[in-house]
Amino acid sequence: MPPKSRLGQNFLRDQQAIRRIVAALGDCSDRTVVEIGPGMGAITRELAAKAGKVLALEVDRELAARLSAEFSAGAAGLGDDAQGTKVQIEIADVLSFDFAAASVAAGQRLLVAGNLPYYITSPILQKLAENSDALDRAVLMVQREVADRVMAEPGSRDFGFLSVAVQMHGPVERLFTLPPSAFSPPPEVHSTVFRWRFAPRFRELRVERAPFLKFLRQVFALKRKTLANNLRAAGIEAVVIADAFSDAGIDSKARAEAISVETLAALWRVLNSAGTTSTIEVAPEVD
């Protein structure tokens, strides 16, 4: 069966990397792990050996059928405690998957693992962020440039909406990077594995999730402009912005990528209490 590039099918063939991805989840012997895009089962087999239960979501029917056959054959041959009984392959689009219901069914917050299909990395990160209450931690492989943006800190060229939108849902850690030759067929890019521990910061920073994410999207809308100009473009009056900057301790010429999320939260609180954030009309997606 030839790999389908439109579904981001670049299969991992580096056994050491596979072991490191699963080990990075920590002890998962009594946990349910959701695997995004099991493909040919490279990571699934290692998860089957280490996790309490594996729920693998694969959108490609042919691959899902192959994996189901492999794991149910394993279960039939090895008895009830065999790895096949604890691996469930679902034909599913991860973007439509109900993580909250799966977490309730499992009676615990879920772990997530995946060598992600790169064509939908941002929507998947957004989906996980939206479901962070149902999730404990994730170990994910993404294109290296995307990992750079996810992990970026204020002051870095890569710091932007994706960085804050992810990091507002919990800390991220870079683990390791693989060359294209670790995959078959090789992609055109390097790939980086990172860990994300879900611990949303909205309450701690005293901001409301949806309006604050909307605000952040506007703040980072035009990276070459100053923060003040981006807020002006969102319809907030110059005098209101100047007062809010002075209350939040922000320089009038500052660019958003130089400002910490704590200071952005302080700015949002000032603008929100002045009733100005409601004028911002931008969708809160991660990209």
Q: Which residues bind ligand SAM (CB under 6 A)?
A: 7-12, 36-40, 42-43, 57-60, 63, 93-95, 115, 117, 120
- 181, 247 in Cβ contact below 8 A? no
Q: How far is the CB of 221 from ligand SAM (least distance, A)?
A: 27
User: Cα(20)–Cα(265) distance, rounded to whole angstroms?
Assistant: 36
Cis peptide before 185 (omega within 30 of 0): yes
What do you get for the CA distance between the two ends of the chain, in Å?
32
Q: How far is the CB of 236 from ligand SAM (least distance, A)?
A: 37
Q: How far is the CB of 90 from ligand SAM (least distance, A)?
A: 9
**Helix-helix angle 261-273:238-248, to 10 degrees:** 130
C-alpha atoms less than 13 angstroms from C-alpha of 244 in its C-beta half-sphere:
25
Closer residue to ligand SAM (CB): 92 or 282: 92
Q: How far is the CB of 111 from ligand SAM (least distance, A)?
A: 15
Give me the DSSP letters along 37-77.
--TTSHHHHHHHHH-SEEEEEES-HHHHHHHHHHHHHHHHH
Q: How far is the CB of 198 from ligand SAM (least distance, A)?
A: 20
Nearest residue to ligand SAM on Cβ basis: 37
Closer residue to ligand SAM (CB): 42 or 164: 42
| 243: CB partners within 8 A, 6+ apart | 270, 274
In 3D space, the residue among 49, 40, 64 whose CA is nearest the CA of residue 19 turns out to be 49
Return the HEC string of 119-149.
HHHHHHHHHHHHCHHHEEEEEEEEEHHHHHH
- 198, 170 in Cβ contact below 8 A? yes
Closer residue to ligand SAM (CB): 36 or 175: 36
Closer residue to ligand SAM (CB): 165 or 193: 193
Q: How far is the CB of 93 from ligand SAM (least distance, A)?
A: 4
User: Cα(183)–Cα(18) distance, rounded to whole angstroms?
Assistant: 11
Closer residue to ligand SAM (CB): 92 or 254: 92
- The encoded tokens of residue 238 equal 């110059």
Q: How far is the CB of 54 from ligand SAM (least distance, A)?
A: 12
Closer residue to ligand SAM (CB): 117 or 170: 117
- 148, 125 in Cβ contact below 8 A? no
Closer residue to ligand SAM (CB): 94 or 152: 94
